[in-house]
Amino acid sequence: MQWLETSQPDFARKFARLVEERRESDPDLERVVGDILAEVRTRGDAALAEYTQRFDKHTLTEDDDWRIGPQACRAAFDALEPELRAALELAAARIRAYHEGQLPADRDFVDETGVRLGAKWHPVDAAGLYVPGGRAAYPSSLLMNAIPAKVAGVARLVVTTPTPKGEVNPLVLAAAHLAGVDEIWRVGGAQAIAALAYGTERIAAVDVVTGPGNAWVAEAKRKLYGVVGIDMVAGPSEILLIADSLNDPDWIAADLLSQAEHDPDAQSILITDDAAFAHQVADRIDVQCATLSTEAAARKSWDDHGTIIIVGDLSEAPALANHLAAEHVEIALDDPEPLFAQLRHAGSVFLGRHAPEAVGDYVAGPNHVLPTGRRARFASGLSVLDFMKRTSFIGLDPAALARIGPAAIALAHAEGLPAHALSVELRLK
C-alpha cells in the first residue's frame, strides 16, 4: 500500500506516477486475441467449439449444448428464494425507471430561413451482451446491460456467457428472464465477441456489443470497434474515497475493499485530511480482509495498488480527484455538495456518509458499467443512448434554398468541389 502526503517535497512526482499507472497491459494479449478473432471470422462455429472445449472444458455439439432456452431461465427465476427474487425485481425496476428517463426526444422544426431541420432516434436492431460465467458471474451486470437495451427498444437481445464444465449461474438465468433476453449462447472469451461481431452459422451478428469481461474480452472489443459499436474498453475496477475523520473507519475500510475484492489489479484510494484516521482505516482493512472469502484478491489489490493520500485540507481533494478521473468516487462528508460541485471527471459519484458504492452496483438505478483507467475524462457510463443512433434530416423548399444556397455555392467553389456547387446552382436557376 502506498502512502502519500501533499506536504511531501516529492508528492507531485509520486502522484503523477499514480495517475499514469496502467494496470491492464499484456504484451502477448493483442497477438493472441487477433488470432482468435481471425479464426472465428474464417471458421465460425467450428472455431467456437474448439475454443470452448479448450478454455471452458465444455463440448458444443447438439443445439442444447450451444444455447440455454427460455424455459431454463424461467425455471431459475421461479426457483429463487423469495427474498432474493424480490431483491432482483427491485433492482430491475429501479434500473428500468432510471434509464427510461434517458430516452431522447426527436426534433422537427422549421428555422427562421424556412429550412426544416430535425433528428429521429432509432434503436439498433440487435445488441450482444457479454456476461462473465461460472461462479464469478454477476446477475447485476446482466440487468445493467440488458435493461437499457430493452428500454431503448432493441428487438433482438443476445447474451454470450462461458459455462465452465457446463456450469451456469442460475442467478444469471433468472436475471435474463427478468430482463427479457432473447438468446443465450454458451460461448465466452474473445471468441464470443468475435461471434457477436462477425456472426457464425448459428449466431447471427449484432450491431452493438456491451458488457464486462477479462482482458481478452476487452481487447477483442477494442479491436472490433467499427465492425460493431461497443460500450467501452474497461479495465480493472477503481474507487476513490474522500473522507474526513468523522466517518466510522470500519465503513470506509469496507468501501475500499468492495472494489479491491473484484480483482488483484483493482485500485482503492483514500483521500483524507487526518493521518490518524487513515491509520485506523488501514488497520480495519487488515482485519476485515482476513474475514473475506475474497481475501486473496482483495489483499493483493490493496497491497499492490491501494493508496492513502493525506491532504492539508479536504479542499485539495477535487483537484486530485479530477486528475485521477476514477470509476467510482465517494464523498463521505456531512455536506458533500461543495466538493461535488468541483468534481468534473468521475464515472459515478456517491454523496454523503450513507451512500456506499455497493448500493450503486445493485439497486440505486444508474448504470454500474462505468469508464475506468482515467477514461472518465472523456467517456460516460453505459446508457440507453449506447443502444440507439440519431438520424438527422433536412427539408428545403425553393424559397429556403434561395436564402442559404448561395453560401453553399461559395463554400463549394472555395473547397474546389464544382459538382457540389453545380447541384445547388441548377436548382436556383
Q: Which of 367, 400, 372, 399 is CA-nearest to residue 384?
A: 367
For cell 427562421, name the residue: 112
- The per-residue pLDDT of the chain, averaged, comes to 95
What is the model's pTM?
0.93
Q: How confident is the model at residue 62 (pLDDT cuts 50, 70, 90)?
A: confident
**Helix segments in 44-138, DSSP class H:** 45-56, 63-66, 70-78, 82-100
Q: Does the pLDDT value for residue 330 go beyond 70?
A: yes
Q: Which amino acid is at 279?
A: H
Which band of pLDDT confidence, cut at 50, 70 and 90, is reported for residue 136? Answer: low
Residue 189 and residue 216 in contact, taking contact as beta carbons nearer than 8 Å: yes
pLDDT at residue 166 above 90? no
pLDDT, tens digit, for every residue of 69-104? Answer: 999 999 999 999 999 999 999 999 999 999 999 999
Q: CA-CA distance, 363 to 419, in Å (whole number)?
A: 57
What confidence tens digit (pLDDT) does each residue in 198-212 have? 999 999 999 999 998
Cell 483524507 belongs to residue: 272
- Statement: residue 14 has pLDDT above 80: yes
**Annotated catalytic, 328?**
yes
Is residue 33 predicted with pLDDT exceeding 70? yes
Q: Which domains does the chain have, with CATH numbers?
A: 2-22+235-364 (3.40.50.1980), 29-112+122-230 (3.40.50.1980), 396-428 (no CATH)
* pLDDT, tens digit (0-9, with 9 covering 90-100), for 212-235: 888 899 999 999 999 999 999 888
The percent of residues above 90 in pLDDT, for the chain, comes to 91
Query: Is 62 tagged catalytic?
Result: no
354-376, pLDDT tens digit by residue?
999 999 999 999 999 999 999 99
- Provide CB contacts within 8 A for 260, sequence distance 6+: 266, 268, 297, 298, 299, 301, 302, 306
Q: Select which of 58, 262, 328, 368 is catalytic.
A: 328
pLDDT at 8: 94
Q: Which of 183, 261, 327, 357 is catalytic?
A: 327
Instruction: Give the pLDDT score at 61.
Output: 86
pLDDT digits (tens, 9 = 90+) for 178-200: 999 999 999 999 999 999 999 99
Tell whether the model's pLDDT for residue 135 goes beyond 60: no
Beta pairing partners, 229: 208
Backbone angles phi, psi at 320, to 5 degrees: -65, -45
